[in-house]
Structure 1
Amino acid sequence: MSFGDPNNPYGQPPQQPPAAPGYGYPQAPGVPPQGYGYPQQPAYPGYPGTNQMLPQTMPGLLVTARVFLFIISAVQILAALGWFYVAAIANDVSNKADSYSSSNDDVFSSFSDGADIATGVLVLIALIAAGLAALSITLGVKFGRGGQGVRITTVIYGALGGIVGLIMLFVGLDSGMASAVIFPLIWVVFAAIITAAPVVSSGTAWFARPRY
């Protein structure tokens, strides 16, 4: 009886050919099966920002600064209207002085010239206030989709406003009147928040976020 006989029931079973790798047969231990039903995911080695959480909503400090910008713009609009009104009064005074003046009356002539200069200065101040109001509104609106340009402009604008507020605050303190201190103090607080909001980490991340 030979072990090599294929009909021998006590011999070794014949060797089977290895099965070809395919569906349902993993190729090697520890290697995920490839083929139908296992799509390969693309790898992005070194892709920046994959583990960083980008802000999806505007941070609260920026929202506060945005509201303050709109409030300041309203004050600037009212100031511009007030200066235009005063300039109109000065212009009326100048016209009255012209009507009363004569070639031999230097008093009314000088008064008319002074009223004309005052009218020009008042109109210039009103235009500056209107321009600042437009800038405040533009910055507030651009907070939603603005980039680094809006951020830097807001910081500079808030810092300059804070300097003006501090000057008014010192003048009010020297006057000794409580009413002359309240408004400059509020202005300084608004300016400080507007300046700080784009500088803190949450504000910086908001303006640096990708836009699609």
Structure 2
Amino acid sequence: MSFGDPNNPYGQQPGQPPQGQQPGYGYPQGQPQQGQQPGYGYPQAPPVQQAGYGYPGGYPAAPTEMPGGIKAARVMLWVMSAFQVIAGIFLFAAMGAVDDAVNNADTTADTAALADFGKGIVAFLAVLMLIFAALSITLALKMKSGGNATRICAIVYGAFAALGGLVSLPLGIVTLALGILIIVFVAKSDGAAWFQRPRY
């Protein structure tokens, strides 16, 4: 194949593709052949990889199994619900004992009113314990399938449990410790990844 006059600046030069096969201006070229320079335009780039869950360069893969900290927090919620049910039953029994003591003693109107007020406080605490027990059971059940709202509720619940344990020291030391541990386990990064995982 002849290239024509080598001194002709408008003619085809050696090492260039034939006239009709000029590379397009501004687009990346394939691998240059030996002796050729890459064309003008964008530099060569590696192939694009799809970003997303499980792909290199994308987001970290979503957890498929409940992390150990969340499992531990779930067990602690079940334990706390049992404690709260027992405490609620105990408080209702204490309310009955106060009522029996008032009925068996000589009481004035002021003493009876004070006893009724005390029974009201005990009944309120008993109902509060049972409400917290129901909330604890609900959170424990939602740990497997719940979203970020479950995580936030568990953190708030742990804060209230820790506060209740702090108020009732030394008897509330177990509740205080469990409340703090629930907050720590649920607030950790693997706990956040579990509750914020995509659901298909």
Aligned residue identity for 1:159: A
In the alignment, the residues of structure 2 paired with residue 168 and residue 89 of structure 1 have an alpha-carbon distance, to the nearest angstrom, of 21
Q: Is the 8 A contact 1:70 1:137 kept in 2?
A: yes
Match of 2:186 in 1: 198
Aligned residue identity for 1:83: L
Aligned residue identity for 1:189: A
Q: CA deviation at 1:91?
A: 2.5
In the alignment, the residues of structure 2 paired with residue 168 and residue 81 of structure 1 have an alpha-carbon distance, to the nearest angstrom, of 17
Match of 1:158 in 2: 158
Match of 2:21 in 1: none
Structure 2 residue 118 is the aligned partner of structure 1 residue 83: no
Q: CA deviation at 1:109?
A: 2.1
> Unaligned regions of 5+ residues in structure 2, if any?
1-30, 32-47
**Over 6 Å off, 4+ runs:** none
Residue among 65, 68, 86 paired with 1:60: 68
Match of 2:17 in 1: none
Match of 1:109 in 2: 109
Q: CA deviation at 1:120?
A: 1.2
Asked which structure has the greater CA Rg, the reply is 1
CA shift digits 1:127-159 (9 cap, x unpaired): 001001111111111001011111001111112
Relative to structure 1, is the Cα distance of residues 62 and 48 closer, same or farther in structure 2, using a 3 angstrom cutoff?
Answer: same
In the alignment, the residues of structure 2 paired with residue 92 and residue 166 of structure 1 have an alpha-carbon distance, to the nearest angstrom, of 31
Q: Is the 8 A contact 1:90 1:116 kept in 2?
A: no
Match of 1:27 in 2: none
Q: CA deviation at 1:197?
A: 1.5
What is the total number of aligned residue pairs between the two structures? 151
Structure 2 residue 90 is the aligned partner of structure 1 residue 73: no
In the alignment, the residues of structure 2 paired with residue 112 and residue 185 of structure 1 have an alpha-carbon distance, to the nearest angstrom, of 34
In the alignment, the residues of structure 1 paired with residue 125 and residue 189 of structure 2 have an alpha-carbon distance, to the nearest angstrom, of 37
Q: CA deviation at 1:94?
A: 3.9
> Unaligned regions of 5+ residues in structure 1, if any?
1-29, 31-43, 101-106, 170-179
Q: Is the 8 A contact 1:93 1:112 kept in 2?
A: no
Q: Is the 8 A contact 1:72 1:133 kept in 2?
A: yes
Structure 2 residue 23 is the aligned partner of structure 1 residue 49: no
Relative to structure 1, is the Cα distance of residues 111 and 168 closer, same or farther in structure 2, using a 3 angstrom cutoff?
Answer: closer
Relative to structure 1, is the Cα distance of residues 136 and 53 closer, same or farther in structure 2, using a 3 angstrom cutoff?
Answer: same
Aligned residue identity for 2:118: A
SS at 2:187 equivalent = coil
Relative to structure 1, is the Cα distance of residues 80 and 202 closer, same or farther in structure 2, using a 3 angstrom cutoff?
Answer: same
CA RMSD of aligned residues (A): 2.5
In the alignment, the residues of structure 1 paired with residue 94 and residue 176 of structure 2 have an alpha-carbon distance, to the nearest angstrom, of 27
In the alignment, the residues of structure 2 paired with residue 53 and residue 211 of structure 1 have an alpha-carbon distance, to the nearest angstrom, of 13
Match of 1:147 in 2: 147
Aligned residue identity for 1:198: V
